[in-house]
Every structure is written in structure tokens, then in C-alpha cells.
Amino acid sequence: MLDAIADYVKDLAYVVSTVTEIDIEVVDRNLVRIAGTGIYADSVGDSITQAGALYTHALATAEPLYVDNPKENPLCFQCPNLDHCQEKLTLCSPIVADGEILGIIGLVCFNDDDRLKVQANRDIYIRFVQQIAETLARVATNERRSRENSRRLSTLLEITDANSRGVLVLGRDGRVTFVNDNARKELGITDGEEAGYSVTVAATGDVYSDMEEYAVIVSATASVTDGDAPALVDRDEHVVLGKFLQLDRQDDPAFDRALVFESRARLTAMLSRLGGSGGHGGVLGAIIGSGPIMLNLKKRVGQVANTSSTVLITGESGTGKEMFARAIHDSGPRRDKPFVAINCGAIPDALLESELFGYAQGAFTSADPSGRMGKIELADQGVLFLDEIGSMPLHLQVKLLRVLQERTFSRLGSNTTIKVDIRVIAATNEKLTSLIEQRMFREDLYYRLNVIPLEIPPLRERKKDIPELAEYFLDRYCRLFSKPPLRLSPSLLDIFTAYSWPGNIRELENCVEYMVNMHDGGPLSTRALPAKLAALASVPLPSVRPAIPQADEPVTAPIVPIARLEQEAIQNALRHFGDSADGKRRAAEALGIGIATLYRKIRPSDPK
């Protein structure tokens, strides 16, 4: 540790030697000479292990040592340099800092006059050498603490740079005195030129959770000559969320205030991941289906993913509209940004506005006193998915239209205009044109949304995808419920393909989940089917599987009129459920047709 203050030790040794006119030397705890005067001046850095018997004893006892007869003292008898020793008197004291011995300071006389002078004032010199040792210990301790503080500060600075938050420290004059890498990038402050920037921080009054919103104005000034006023060359404004701290350092005007902040874009990305709509994976390849209809849809997703145009996804409930919205997000340049979904039909009208636009502190009676960021703001830099857009009330459609047109909005209870960069994807299972005719949906909003239409066909129109989807769900639920692997028999696949699936993929998934739960061992059979599909189990169905002819055998397949197949399915369902009104209703549900259609088809043969 003494080597860290070697220059100070040398200067002090020289001053003490000059004042006392007696040589001084300082060695560290390894008996390496750190400083020396007189005959020791030219041997700084040398080890005195072979000739340091007295110093070794002082290191061992941690006590001062006074020897005025070196050649006659028993401690010196083992010294190999005894016969050539020129020392007349040695006074040394250990240098102890925080209980640790750092080295030895020695006062050495080489003539009788100096020896007699020290002997005459023995106690004074002993105390004097001890005080010099204590001084060196304090200096060494301060140096060590300074280095530790420097290392800690360096570590803290590394941590602030590794953390996503920006840290900005201002002096009393508003000048930047410290800025970490994240703040430098966010605020556009050039590395190495921090002193050339002045910053003004003003609270906007909006609060989110425990963070306030601030407008940060960064002004860069040109370098000036003495006597000239600084010239403003650049001015930029940023909106951030964080805390502005008063440091109360009266003794240091360079550290007056500190702003610890997140950029709104980074914060919204983080919050959307933590409190967003959950994850489906959303990668285009995760969408099951390899039929021509699905391949064409996937191709269209790839075409529209790299733009920022608004997309309107239409299709029946359960067709996977949100999956396609996520596929557009994950296939485009915003894939690393938020995907924020909100179901406009699942939230009461009174709450939907605050969910979308957020609200300022104290906006209304039951509001969170800290305010809240809305889904639009959370989606900044990313994608906002508006599901069931047809359920949005008219007064909110007007506000949404402004967001689509200008990409700006205000929180409830706030006059601050917030600008966002979002891509909007909307979805609906309703015909918006019909809602427009009923004056339940704005025509101008429809055209703003319908820039890129994407229609997802129902499952009954892409039957080639049914076996692939069914096998996928079967594998998934077998693993989920720790069941042995199961496979769908050809007869089950025929039933699946013949069914109309009014609930689309969601109904198919529920059906397979039900079957896995009901499976009681052995091959998966029609006994595990839900009631709706069980009615089809005993009806002869045309197979969707291509016939594989045997060698030298002609290919034959029975041709059955559709009307006959239909009547057989209806009669089988009625036998299964009964001919009562309730039985007919259940039969119609199992067949996937309306009750009116069922009555119409059985009327010619119905004796009633």
C-alpha cells in the first residue's frame, strides 16, 4: 500500500531528514525500500531482507524499537552484514493503518554526534518517529479509500450504463456535469463535450405509477472566447418519465440536481411485455395449415408486414384473427417493439376510453391517483391491435379517427398532446358495412381502417387444414395432461372433415381437449366425441382420404347422392336425440345447421 503513495513518502522523508539532519528510510512490509536519504538514496527499490533484523523484529511486534548499540544488540547477532554495519543508532516505528502493518519508518545515525543528539532526546525522537509513522498511515488510508471510492464510482457508472435508465446530473448553473451512456444517447449529448450543454427540466404534471413526466430541453452552446457570451447553436426537447432529485450538495455546486429517467418508448416496451395481452408466439410459421388458402394468406402477411399501413382483419369468431395480427407484427420491422392488444367488446364503454387513452392524475373520482398510461401510449413504436372493433362506441370512434390521422392524442384530464408512432391492426367478426348502414359505425373510420383488408376464411372452407390442426391439438393436450401419445383414426378424421365447425378453430381445439380428457385407454374412438359430433359417428360418410388401389385391382368407389347422405345424417341424429322439440334442437346443433333448416329438410317426410 505504501507504494501507492511512494512520491509522498519520498518527499516526507527528504523533509524530515533535512530538518533533523539525520537519515531516514522507509520500507514496506516486505522489507523493500520505498524511500531513503543519504547513503540509502541510491538504493530505493532494493530489498533489505538480509540486513533488516531490527525492522523484522518491529514488524513482528508492531512496536517501536530503539537500539543505540546495534553491533552489541542480540537482535543483530544473526545479521550477515554485522561486521560491515556502519549504523550507530537505529530508531524505527511500524506504520499501522486500520490494524494492518504497512511497513517501517527508520531514523538511522551514522556518526557519534547524531547518536549523542538522539540519545539526549530519546523520548522526543521516539514520539517524533511515531507521529511520522501515523502521518504516513493516514495518508495511505486516505489513498486507499480514495481508490476504493474511485473503483466504486467506476462500478456504479458501469451499472448505470448497463441499466436501461438514463442518469443526468446538473450543476447549479444548469450545466451537465455527468451523463451516462443511456442518457447521452437519448438526449443527443456528444461524448466528451458534456460541459457544452445546458439542460432545463420541467414537470408536465402527468404521472404514471411512481414516475413523473418531464419535458427536458437540451441546449448546446458554441465554444466562446473570454468576454464573449455563449452562443446557442442547438436546442432539442424530449419527453421522459422518471424522478428529478435535489442533491442538496451545498459544498459542491457541480452536483445540484439529478434526473433518473426512462424514455417513453423503452418504458412502454417494458410495460407492454409485463402487462400486455400475453404471448402466443405469433410467428408466421406457428400458424397451422398448409392448404392453398392458408399458403396464400401467409404470403399476404409477408407482403404487408414490412409496411406501416393499417390492416383490417375480418373473419368469423375463432378463425385466428389475433394470430394473424401477431404474425404481421413478428414478421415486420417492429417485431422487437410492443404488441398491445385490447378487446373493444370485452370492456364496458365507460372504461374503454381510459383503457385506450389513459388518464392524468386526478382525472376522475375512481382514478388511480398516480394516473395511468393507456394502451395507445403503451404501443408506441410498436403495434396496437384493436379486436372486435365493431363494438367500439361512436364517441370513441371519433377519437380513434384522430389517432389514425395525426398519430396524436391526449390522456383523459390532461391538455398535453402526446405523439405516438404506432401501427394499427383492427379485427372484427361483424360486417362493418352493415353497421355503417345502421349508423353504428363511422364510414370515415372504416375507410381509415380498411387500408389493407385481410379476410380469414372459416374452417369449413379450408377442410384440408383440419387433420393437421387436429393432430397438432391432440399432441399438445396429450403432453399437457400427461397422456400417452394418441392418434386420430381415419373414421374420426372423416367425421372431423364432414362437420361444419361453426366455432372454427376454437371449437376444434375444445373438441380435441374434450376427447383427450374423456379418453379411457386404448385407441381413440368415437366414444370420446362430444355430443355434437357423436351424431355423425354412425352415418356413412365419404372418406376424404384418397383411395390406394391394390396391384391389378380396378379403382372403385361408391357414389352416393348428397341428398341421401343428408337425409341419412338427419334421420340418424333424430334417432339419437329423439323426435321431440328439444331433440330436434339438439340434432340441429349436432348437425351444424339451424333449427329452421332442419324443419325444412324433414317436412316432406314428417307425418306431422
pLDDT for 557 equals: 46
Q: Where are the beta strands (DSSP E) in 209-350?
A: 211-222, 231-246, 257-263, 311-314, 339-343
CB contact at 8 A, 340 and 383: yes
Q: Reduce the DSSP state of residue 18 to 3 states and report it.
A: helix
pLDDT for 251 equals: 67
Q: Which of 493, 484, 498 is nearest to 541 (CA)?
A: 498
Measured distance CA(381)–CA(468) in Å, rounded: 36
Give the amino acid at 510: N
Give the amino acid at 327: A
pTM of the predicted model, to two decimals? 0.54
Q: Find cell 466504486 and name the residue.
A: 152
pLDDT for 32 equals: 93
Measured distance CA(569)–CA(581) in Å, rounded: 18
pLDDT for 368 equals: 61
pLDDT for 447 equals: 95
pLDDT for 551 equals: 43
Residues of the chain with pLDDT under 70: 152-164, 205-210, 221-234, 249-252, 264-283, 362-371, 537-560, 603-608
Q: Reduce the DSSP state of residue 271 to 3 states and report it.
A: helix
Q: Reduce the DSSP state of residue 91 to 3 states and report it.
A: strand
pLDDT for 505 equals: 93
Measured distance CA(511)–CA(533) in Å, rounded: 9
pLDDT per residue as tens digits for the range 335-373: 888 899 999 988 888 889 989 998 887 666 655 666 678
- The DSSP H or E segment spanning 296 is helix 292-304
Cβ atoms within 10 A of the Cβ of 9, count? 25
Measured distance CA(506)–CA(420) in Å, rounded: 34
pLDDT for 278 equals: 43
Contacts of 471 (CB under 8 A, 6+ apart): 487, 488
Give the amino acid at 309: S
pLDDT for 606 equals: 41
For the CA atoms of 448, 450, 451, 457, the dihedral, rounded to the nearest 10 degrees, stands at: 160
> Sign (positive/negative) of CA torsion 389, 390, 392, 397?
positive
